[in-house]
Structure 1
Amino acid sequence: MTRQRAPIAIIGGGISGAAACLRLAALDIDVLWITPLVNGTDKPGEHLAAAARPLLAQLGIEDLLDRHYHRAANTLFSAWGSDPLVERNAIVHLEGPATVLDRMAFERDLTERVLSRGVHQVEAMLTVAERCDDLWHLQLGKTTAQASFLLDATGRNASIARHYARRYRADRLAALYTFLERAPDADVEPTQATLIESTSTGWWYAALRANKSLALNFYTDPALIPRQATRDTAVLQTLLQETRYISRWIADVGFSLDSPPRIARADTTWIAPAAGAGWAAIGDAAAAFDPLSSHGMTTALWTAITAADAAAAALSGQTTPLARYADRVAAGVQDFLHSRSSIYSQETRFADQPFWQQRRIPDPA
């Protein structure tokens, strides 16, 4: 059995874990990055807000957005609270336009950049994480590891942080998601746009990716998802009929629904406090927001950078940055919950429907 040791261990892959690695590498702090085996399948989450660009620049990786498989998100249309489509132009963002990512390619490139900085990655399942005498003892299959500080980047499950802080959940939102390809004989060129459209049972998101496939997500409560939705394409086709604009876009361009959608969590959850003695939660482990916010990846980057700085300070005995980080995460959660209620209250056409009634209930403090 081999043993490894580093000042800081980061548990979990994804954007937050990789970003924390990059930040700590820039600070010349050795990191042990423990990640699960990658399954190599597409997942939802293409929209990178313009506010993420300064954070990517801070990490020295803004150039990753220049890859040909991403595109600028210059145009967003929404049918929310009213029947007509409303266009919002990206020119209002001082940072520039948002970006529609090939999410899987972006995370792959991010991992490659991390490894190029000399970060040691271990692909293994963490089975035990115990803290004793100010030292974390980690069991990774046949390997053991030790670290003075631990960053939890394990997503909404918050596998480590949940044992040291309280978990909260504001809703049970779920996403049915899939990626549509154009039919071989399609002759209509799709518009480079993103559409958001609300219906009686939830809301839809559709975005054209750089490769001209369409990312399609339907957000609703689990209780409202029809049986067989992830087994029968006809179920999603039926749900799509309630949309006015997205269904027309799919039909006019010739996108085909060839396989049933998959399902993913999209609920608003958070940990409080988001940090403690020898640990901090980052990314979705710290706070995961309703995708309507479009700031999931921005939050992942900000928490990773800020918590990495706080962890570095903690190694030298400075605990104030860690407490400040936890306070800022808590404040951000409350700001989001207020904004969330405001946005959902703008949709009054379906006020008598269960999905929308649930979102008029005051958010938990």
Structure 2
Amino acid sequence: MTDIKETDVLVAGAGPAGAIAARLLACHGRKVTLVDPGSCAIDRLEVLPPSGCLALQALDLFNILHDPQVARPCLGIRRRWGAMAPEFDDFLRRPGSAGYVVDRTRFDVRLRAAASEAGVRVMRGRVVAAQCEGERIQAAIRTCAGDVILAASVAVDATGRPAVLARHLGARRRVLERLVAVRGENSHANNADDAPTWLEVESLGANWFYRVAGPGGRLETWSIRRGEDRSRRSAGRSINASSVRLSPAAGVRWIAVGDAAMSFDPITSQGLVSAFTTALAAAGTVMSSRGLDAETAHVFSQSVTATAQNSERGRRDVYQALTVGQNGA
């Protein structure tokens, strides 16, 4: 007979969205179990714009960015379309006035540590099935010691793009545009200079290209192309960069956060901001007087849809400018 364990809140996935949602809920007295296989570190750099810094300040986690091994100051985004003069998106002009390039491996470790310090219980395992049983969500967790059933009043899906838990509960992923990101050969170049840097974006033939320097001078370059390219996935050079949203993004007793709720083209630099803001919104919904009922789930889902659609319009405008510049118009 499969062992059944009880918890107030099940959070599936220990990336930034999952770790932050789990920490918030634990700080407000909920018994939280964070389920994660613990074997999938994100080995890449990611830009955190000023809006994300403001969210970290609200979460009392901004001090993590003071560690030079975790984050490097970023001045903004420099774009060049073909032969046109560069355009600058200066972070000093935005609310918050500061941005960073984050080493995701080290950053995620610090966020998980903050969750543990708040009393979050970590279970090493993977969600393989889930269903709503009366007043509880029951999830089958595959661990190295065998399968466990975890029963919770609320489930938070933070499993990233696959949205594993939500899809078991009936949600569907809607792809807005299929994109693939391919890592350049010089992504681990060393440079001791840790002065503030820029995210550089430019055209590269029919594709888009971006380059950024992170903590310790680590340099990463990526090209973004339309369509799918599975040929290089095994070498770790190619990742799914498609624009995707979940429909719905929440239901009675469950809610999705971070990339599970909506995923972005990495050039938009919205991934971490989305992780923080959806985690905040989800925790607030769970702790509200109504909790996660049909109405509050619908409101959250509508917000996710509106955010994804707005982001997609902005991204298409930027890429249209790129194409015009490339053609010399």
- TM-score, normalised on structure 2? 0.87
Q: Which whole-Å deviations, capped at 9, do the CAs of 1:248-283 have from their partners, x for residues lacking one? A: xxxxxxxxxxxx761111000111221111111111
- Residue pair 1:196, 1:205 contacting (<8 A) in 2 also: yes
Equivalent residue, structure 1, for 2:78: 77
2:135 partner amino acid: D
SS of equivalent residue, structure 1 residue 46: strand
> What amino acid does structure 1 have at the position aligned with 2:161?
R
Is contact 1:15-1:297 (8 Å) kept?
Answer: yes
Structure 1, 310-319 or 299-308: larger mean CA deviation: 310-319
Aligned pairs for 1:184-333 (under 5 A) are 192-222=197-227, 262-313=237-288, 320-333=295-308
| Runs of 5+ consecutive residues of structure 2 not aligned to the other structure | none
1:169 corresponding residue in structure 2: 175
- Structure-2 separation of matches of 1:311 and 1:326: 14
SS at match of 2:138: strand
The percentage of aligned residue pairs carrying the same residue is: 24
Alpha-carbon distance in 2 for matches of 1:226, 1:85: 33
**Closer, same or farther in 2 for the Cα pair 1:28/1:192, shift >3 Å?**
same
Contact 1:313 1:321 (C-alpha < 8 Å) held by counterparts: no
Q: For the Cα contact (< 8 Å) 1:7–1:148, is it kept in 2?
A: yes
The worse-fitting range, judged by mean Cα deviation, of 76-85 and 121-130 is 76-85
Cα displacement (A) at 1:81 = 5.6
Rounded Cα–Cα distance in structure 1 between residues aligned with 2:206 and 2:326: 8
Match of 1:31 in 2: 32
For residue 77 of structure 2, give the secondary structure of its aligned residue in structure 1: strand
Contact 2:53 2:98 in 1 (8 A): no
Larger radius of gyration: 1
Once residues 280 and 62 of structure 2 are traced to their aligned partners in structure 1, the CA distance between those partners, rounded to angstroms, is 15
Greater strand content: 2
Q: 1:146 to 1:216 in 2, by over 3 A?
A: same
Question: What is the alpha-carbon distance in structure 1 between the residues aligned to residue 165 and residue 59 of structure 2?
Answer: 25
TM-align CA RMSD: 2.7
Q: Distance in 2 between matches of 1:160 and 1:188?
A: 42
Using the TM superposition, give the Cα deviation of residue 226 of structure 1 relative to its aligned residue in structure 2, in angstroms: 10
**Aligned counterparts of 2:192 and 2:240: Cα–Cα separation in 1:** 35
- Counterpart CA distance in 2 for 1:317 and 1:220 is 38
Q: Which residue of 2 aligns with 1:139?
A: 140
Residue 90 of structure 1, CA deviation: 2.2
Number of equivalent positions: 318
Tell me the residue number matched to 1:91: 92
Tell me how far apart the structure 2 counterparts of residues 273 and 76 of structure 1 sit (CA, whole Å): 32
- Contact kept, 8 Å, 1:32 with 1:119, in 2: the verdict is yes
Normalised by the size of structure 1, how large is the TM-score? Answer: 0.79
SS of alignment partner, residue 96 of structure 2: coil
